[in-house]
Amino acid sequence: MRRGELTAIQGRHGGGGEMRLCKRDDCGKRFNVPASSNKRYCSPGCRWACPELRKLLKPTSAKHRLSDVDEVARTANCAICGPTPIRRRKSSSGRSDAQMGWRCRTAERAREWARQYGLDAATVLEMLEGQQRACAICGRHIAERFYIDHCHATGVVRGILCSNCNTALGLLGEDVTRMEAAIAYLNRTRATWSDVQ
């Protein structure tokens, strides 16, 4: 890599990053990514050539048939995923909302999970049930939207979090020292605020 190319990479990714080994078995290339990236393959060709990922992304013959549709709460029971959030199908033909069907959001997100983390929907839903449908940090019930937490350095999936806890980890840079400092700060200031009230 020439000096100009390296500078361009560092400029795009905010000061360099880290070198990773492509996860495709027969590739062996190393590639530079920002430290916060969950990229596991050196190129789209390697990603789509990976047989495990192709199997996860392959459309199944099973249909995500919805029943007990609640249009107000935007939830339904999917024949495959169970209770799930839903959304209206997008229309390219100009049909009205009343004519449009509903889509299983869990099925849509399953393709995203397969592409980003190498997980199928059954594994993710099993993890969620293993946590009693609660956030791994705060323990609050996760009703609809949840986030798969993973280590940005290794790509290893750690658990399922609610939106607030996932955002907090990201804003604190997954830095334990910063988190401990935030806890110490809250403990220090809690005494001050309790004196005022």
More confident residue, 175 or 16: 175
Q: What is the DSSP code (8-state) at residue 112?
A: H
Domain range list for the chain = 1-49, 131-197
What is the structure's pLDDT at 161? 92
Query: What's the angle, vertex CA 157, arms to CA 154 and CA 161, rounded to 5?
Result: 130
Report the alpha-carbon distance of residue 48 to residue 56 in Å, rounded: 11
For the domain made up of 131-197, the CATH class stated in words is alpha beta
What is the structure's pLDDT at 77? 87
Residue 161 Rama label (left phi>0; alpha psi -120 to 50; beta): beta
Half-sphere exposure of 191 (CA within 13 A, CB side): 5
Residue 90, token pair as written in the block: 């997008």
Compute the average pLDDT of residues 54-74.
73
More confident residue, 32 or 94: 32
The tens digit of pLDDT for each residue in 112-170 reads 887 788 887 788 888 888 999 899 999 999 876 788 898 877 778 899 999 899 999 98
Contact present, 121 and 112 (Cβ < 8 Å): no
Would the pLDDT of 180 be above 90? yes
What is the structure's pLDDT at 55? 62
Number of residues written out for the chain: 197
Q: How far apart, in Å, are the Cα atoms of 24 and each of 35, 52, 96, 100?
A: 20, 10, 45, 40
Report the alpha-carbon distance of residue 103 to residue 52 in Å, rounded: 26
